[in-house]
Chains A and B, each alone.
Chain A
Amino acid sequence: MQTLERSDESASEETVSTLRRNVLRRDRTPREYLTLGVGVLVVLGLLVWSFFESKIRTTSVTVVVAVVASGGIWVGANLLFDQVRDNYQRFNAIAYAIIGAVVGVLLHGNLITVGSGEGFLPWVLGPLAGAASFGAIGLALALNDDPQRRLAIGLGGSAAIGLVISLLIRDVYYPGLDAVAIVAYTVVLAAIGGGLSYLRKRPPVGGVLLGAALGWLIGAWGGADLGEGSIATSLVATLPVALLIGTRLGISKNLDYAERLALDTRSRATIFVGPALLFIFGLLVIPAIRTAYLSLLDRDSQEWVGLENYTSVFTDRDSLDLENWTWMFTSVPFLIGIGVLVIALIVGIQMRRTTGYAVEIGNPTMAPLIVGALLVSFGVFTALRGTIINNMWWVVVVTFGSTAMGLAIAVFADQRRGERVAKSIVFMPMAISLVGASIIWRFVYAARDISTEQTGVLNALWVGLGKLSTGSGLPTLIITAVLILILLGLFMMLAYNLTRYGVGRAVVPGVLILLVGWFFIRFIGAFGTVGVGGFKVAPDGEISAQTVNFVQEGPYNNFWLMVIMIWIQTGFAMVILSAAMKAVPTEFIEAAKIDGATDSQIFWRVTLPQIATTIGVVVTTTIVGVMKVYDIVKVMTNGQFGTQVLANNMFQEAFSFTNIGKGAALAMLIFLSVLPIMYSNIRRMQREG
């Protein structure tokens, strides 16, 4: 993010010529030869491999054919439109010839005309004839500027072609005419064509003519029972179409130079942008619209059911279960969260008195406020259950967890020895599939029968802690001593910060004392507690070890699944936030240092506000990613044990239970929930221009 400005206006002529020289030079460096060599070896290896593996062979052939064919069309289109500017007649003739060839392929390839059939010659006959006749018309039109002659050429040529086609059509295709359909389609499409021309600020006649031609074509051929007509109906169905198009061509003018330039630009835009738009519309936009439509139909997409699929989602106990909402008040995270919020309130009042703002980015109120809100929401989510609640829980916890962890690592690693190594290890999970990550964590969470040794790290630690806490050996004593030392240190820090700096700086040690103190009390078993860790106390007072089944014990199993996502997403947040931090101008930091700010003050009051927008980007990106979480839940639980999320539910409804309507409705819910983020992205881009 620093030193990125190669692209500013100061790119002098020197830079330009260097760039061009670099691009157009013919000599290559050894490194390039090496890359080239490796590339050739890889290709050769694939070829040899493909000799043995039919899968690779068919795939390579498919890909090569697809790439060569579409690349050829693409380059050909470019070459064709290269002619527009300076060789208009050639362009016109070729363009018409291509259209003619396509018409020929359509008619002849579908065995609609006489003379088509098996074999090479019959197959190319139609396209060749089409190309020749249409190309002649195109050339003639381009050579003549006189309107009357153009009209004559257009009408004459199209009449001849229409006549020949209608006579060549096989008798099994003679259409029985349906006058209503012809009239209706012609009128409607002519109106649409005229309207479109009007909107494009062109004379509407052209649009009307083309629309009418298309309408007649559809009405006469589409609406008819094929094979019931005669040569006469074939003529009636074909000739008007040809004449309408011929008239349209006849009344048009040859393009002047400015119009040719405009056509050049327009065609180039279509050639370059078109293929991408084709894929976007074909596989994203139109399917998305169709999903919206399917979500209003029943499970077989047969009957209209309105919003029933949506209401069934919201009334289903599995999706939204608010019955036990009072449970939140007994939830531990909820109560701790309230406590932290009270701390935030106290600090906020204090900050308002000293600085005038209770909450601002980077002041001491912020951290307890966020943590408190997080814990409270955690408590709420454990009481309210269901798919929708789970998704909200995922969004809150994973977004907060990965952003906070990513920020922490970015800060701690910044300019320390081993920064690169540390960062690439944290970043590594990004390269592993979500399926692979789930399997990795499956072994971390493994819980085995208590009579055998634990093979999962977490349960081994948990049971070990329980044994330490309830035991009385030397390790227990050592840990107790260490805890006491830590607590003493924290108390000293608290007292020092309170007397020296005031409430703001006392928050961190205070919260730490609460946490460590709570753990200490549980560990030594004071105040009626028994201990901490994986064990259970039988009624007769006997203590035995007990594991946690992290994946199956609700509602916290949800949290353990979220940990996997945090494990993956933290690397993403870290990379982006680290880059943003390094882009904070050093002058700001040096100025703060000169004013005597400490490292933590610089972070909270200088760096953090500077990277606030980047944090926003990370948060929104993570929310979008988490809303559609699927793989982890599918592999770990498949939605059982109260861990269902929208994406997995959608997959099951649509593809396992073949309830298309409900599956589409669930997909739409995921879409609607990220709609605000899409909207804000659009606004941001519009602002940036």
Chain B
Amino acid sequence: MTLSSPVITDSKPEAAPGGDDGGGGAVDRVYGFLRSIPTGFLWLIVVVWSIPTLGLFVNSIRDRDAQRATGWWKVEPGDFTLDNYDQIFAARAGLGRSLLNSAAIAIPATIIPIAIAAFAAYGFAWIDFRGRKGLFIATVSLLAIPLQVALIPALQMFNNGAHFTLPLIDKTITLIPDFDLAGTTTAVWLTHTGFAMPFAIFLLHNYISSLPRDIFEAARIDGADHFTIFWRLVLPLSIPVLAAFAIFQFLWTWNDYLIANTMIGANASEQPTTIVIANLAGDFGRNENILPAGAFVQAFIPLIVFFALQRYFVRGILAGSVKG
């Protein structure tokens, strides 16, 4: 299984579903029924899987009283209202601003890691420097590192900068000055950039390293240097994997709660959507009726991205985790 190769084709069913062709009689009918059990089971799972989301969506367009009175499955056509959506964008809930904050986190946190990781992936794949293999394995082994382990010092760095006290003479050198990033979206996307790096390098390296060697040699003979090869050959050829990573990273950063909550926390003007709706869920009773609408607005952009670009997303997941 070399999923890491450039052409990741989505496999298509080779044959039509093996149904019972013709015949008749009780045995065939029983057999046909037994064969349909797995299909029935499959669609049962699908229904069970979609019910929670469906219920939330139905509730998001019913008013407060209807939500409290009956379950969503007893919906009536007259129930529909967009009041909840109006309320969720009203100043108190502040979801509108948080959407902008989410964009201010997710867009840079998607674009910047792609560029940096593409350089590194090319470097690891096609520049023959000493210690390349060890460095690459060290980088990729960080894939599984739980990001909790870096959160406390990262937050301290954004709060105070980084300082180092020289021994003996007791002078403190400022390695990184305090850029006043505490509680800003900038701190969040910077953190995302760092944490995304091992996965991005791993994913892009899988792809870039399996590009045919001949094109590099041909380009070298033509006198192209690494910069030209990277810019003119590797980048255009890597569009599929770049897109796969971009979608993956966008969904990840848009949906992130832990890092945003650590870096921004209670700073209301910078909170992304996840924090806002989590806070809404915190005071359950009061805002119960606008919670479904809020969750839906939060999930709207990821769902669009997901359904429009599912193929690339699946590619990213496959190439990222199945290496065997």
Interface residues, chain A, with chain B CB atoms under 8 Å away: 1-7, 11, 13, 15-16, 19-20, 23-24, 53, 55-56, 59, 62-63, 66-67, 71, 74-75, 78-79, 82, 178, 181, 184-185, 218-219, 222-223, 265-266, 268-269, 271-273, 275-277, 279-280, 282-288, 290-291, 294, 405, 408-409, 411-419, 421-422, 424-436, 438-444, 452-457, 460, 567, 570, 572, 575-576, 579-580, 582-583, 586, 613-614, 617-618, 620-621, 624, 627-628, 630-631, 634-635, 638, 647, 650-651, 654-655, 660, 663-664, 666-668, 670-671, 674, 677-678, 681-682, 684-686, 688
Contact = CB atoms under 8 A, between A and B. Distances in A.
A614 B3 CA distance: 12
Contacts of A428: 49-50, 53, 303, 306
B298 A433 contact: yes
B47 to A, nearest CB: 9
Given A265-B127, A439-B294, A580-B1, 11 more contacts: A3-B9, A223-B169, A223-B171, A272-B123, A283-B154, A431-B303, A457-B51, A579-B322, A681-B140, A685-B140, A685-B323
Nearest to B97: A55
Interface residues of B, number: 143
A409 B50 CA distance: 14
Nearest to A620: B144
A433 B213 CA distance: 40
A435 to B, nearest CB: 5
A268 B262 contact: no
Which A-B residue pairs are the 6 nearest by beta carbons? Answer: A283-B194, A272-B123, A433-B255, A223-B169, A276-B120, A431-B306
Interface of B: 1-3, 5-9, 11, 13-15, 17-18, 38-39, 41-43, 45-46, 49-53, 55-56, 59, 67-73, 97, 100-101, 103-104, 107-108, 111-112, 115-117, 119-120, 122-124, 127-129, 132, 135, 137, 139-155, 157, 166, 168-169, 171, 173, 185-186, 190-191, 193-195, 197-198, 201, 210-215, 218-219, 225-227, 230, 232-233, 236-237, 251, 254-258, 261-262, 265, 274, 277-278, 281-282, 284, 291-292, 294-295, 298-299, 302-303, 305-307, 310, 313-314, 317-318, 321-324
Contact of A576 (B129, B166, B305, B322): B322
Contacts of B41: 412
Given A53-B100, A62-B186, A288-B150, A19 B215 contact: yes
B317 A572 contact: yes
B46 to A, nearest CB: 5
Contact of B154 (A20, A287, A441, A688): A287
B169 A219 contact: yes
A435 B261 CA distance: 12
Nearest to A664: B152
Considering residues A24, A56, A272, A443, which has the most beta carbons from chain B within 10 angstroms of its beta carbon?
A272
Nearest to A677: B144
A621 B128 CA distance: 31
B208 to A, nearest CB: 11
17 contacts: A2-B9, A5-B5, A6-B5, A181-B168, A269-B132, A273-B120, A279-B193, A425-B49, A436-B295, A452-B69, A457-B52, A567-B49, A582-B11, A621-B321, A624-B146, A635-B281, A654-B151
Nearest to B134: A686
Contact of B212 (A15, A62, A266, A286): A15
B166 A218 contact: yes
Contact of A678 (B141, B171, B201): B141
Nearest to B200: A276
B11 A579 contact: yes
Contacts of B232: 23-24
Nearest to A653: B152
Nearest to B56: A440
Contacts of B314: 427, 575
Contact of A415 (B3, B15, B169): B15
B42 to A, nearest CB: 4
Contacts of B68: 455
Nearest to A581: B11
Contacts of B193: 279, 283
A689 to B, nearest CB: 8
B318 A575 contact: yes
Given A433-B257, A583-B1, A282 B51 contact: no
B107 A63 contact: yes
Given A284-B145, A647-B148, A422 B43 contact: yes
A421 B225 CA distance: 47
B135 to A, nearest CB: 7
B11 to A, nearest CB: 4
A449 B34 CA distance: 43
B143 A275 contact: no
Contact of A439 (B8, B194, B237, B295): B295
Contacts of B145: 284, 288, 671, 674, 678
A453 B120 contact: no
Nearest to A685: B137
Contacts of B227: 75, 78-79, 82, 268
Given A66-B112, A455-B70, A222 B171 contact: yes
A272 B122 contact: yes
A618 B257 contact: no
Contacts of A74: 119
B101 A433 contact: no
A63 B111 contact: yes
Given A5-B5, A614-B1, A586 B14 contact: yes
B188 to A, nearest CB: 11
B120 A275 contact: yes
Contact of B17 (A416, A421, A628): A416
B112 A4 contact: no
Contacts of A452: 69
B237 A19 contact: yes
B292 A443 contact: yes
Nearest to B108: A63
B123 A273 contact: yes
